[in-house]
Amino acid sequence: MFARIEFRARAACIALSAALATALAPATAYAVVTDAPAAPPSAIKVEKVASGLVNPWSLQFLPDGRMLVTERPGRLRIIAKDGSKSEPIAGLPKVYASGQGGLLDIRLAKDFATSGTLFFSFAEPREGGTAGTSVGRGKLVLEGDAGRLEDVEVIYRQKPAIRASQHFGSRIVIDNAGALFVTTGDRGSQSDKAQDPDVPIGKVLRIATDGTPAPGNPGLDGKPGWAPEVWSIGHRNIQGAVLDPETGRLWTVEHGARGGDELNSPQAARNYGWPVISYGRHYSGQEIGVGTEKAGMEQPVYYWDPSIATSGLELYSGDLFPGWKGNLLVGGLAGAHMSRLVMENGMVVAEEKLLQERGDRIRDIRQGPDGAVYVLTDDSSGEILRLSPQ
């Protein structure tokens, strides 16, 4: 009990100090946080729901409580409540299943219960052995334990396509206006394009459900030189994204290089620095760009050094873990754990590392309709884990 009181007092002091520092500092100063104090440990129960999934990438719950799971080689499956797997859903387009490419995120439309519409992102094979991040749309027709996709169309294609198998992103988040945020990567070899607002590489994009640029984007709102679908620039490789439905705020996590993974809250027309500024270093050990800050470029809300290779991201709002409400849950691939970030006033005031003893690469994290937390492990025989209070 006393430890909990001490932690809360310490967290409050940290939050107050940070708020005062931000308020009193000159406009050129930055308030960036890393190595937050350890949060009180959570007692959790870990249950295996399903196994035998080939590099699962994304999980979404259907209205009936079953789960849709993407497998990176290009398969979409339904996972029953007893953990059994359906045959692959028919109707998906061909994917570029190489390196980090393949079938990536999946998201149900807001009206899915009546329309059956879903969106998915994938690495799409293009001409001459090139590939790029694309977004598709289709209608899921359920048939017993499985189903098929109908009326499938690719609504958005990232250009230019690149001959590389790295840094595709990619998460899809539906905002409160019904538009789709789509996160992308810099494709590894194209990092300089992350600073070009007219090229949708290394960006957060925002598109309508038909793939056209969404109203309110900077390029449609008088920002010269910005492609009409681009929301924010200067991103390396965003593989986790979630919306706070109460505030409409977008949260993302992106990979650094050797260190420097970032938690950001991308705002319209802002520049998040890559590859000019970073808290990491190149894999060679050389400094990235000009260092850790530059005028006109945003600082991360939080960063990890060494890198944990951030992936899935969830904002917990359930009742099963009342002490986790409002916390961000972050998957670590190389870090092989789930990071629970305690948030106060948009800042990280404490962090807890969970599932470290298992050594799993955490690819995606979703809150279930029962309030439990469901985790996808990235492996050639990946699993779905269910986390509940012990």
Domain boundaries, the chain: 32-389
- Catalytic annotation present for 167: yes
Query: What is the reported pLDDT for 33?
Result: 81
- Please list, residue by residue across 52-82, b when 16 or more beta carbons sit within 10 angstroms of its beta carbon and e when fewer do: ebebbbbbbbbeeebbbbbbbebbbbbbeee
The catalytic position among 167, 235, 255, 337 is 167
Q: Identify whether the C-beta of residue 169 lies closer than 8 Å to the C-beta of residue 103.
A: no
Quote the pLDDT of residue 32. 79
Entry pTM: 0.91
The per-residue pLDDT for 31 is 58
Predicted local distance difference test score (pLDDT) of residue 28: 33
> What are the per-10-residue average pLDDT scores of the chain (390 residues)?
36 38 35 88 98 98 97 98 96 97 98 97 98 98 94 97 96 98 97 98 98 98 96 98 97 96 98 97 94 97 96 98 98 97 97 97 98 98 98
CATH architecture of the domain covering 32-389: 6 Propeller (2.120)
Do residues 97 and 114 make contact, with C-beta atoms less than 8 angstroms apart? Answer: no
Question: What pLDDT was estimated at residue 312?
Answer: 97
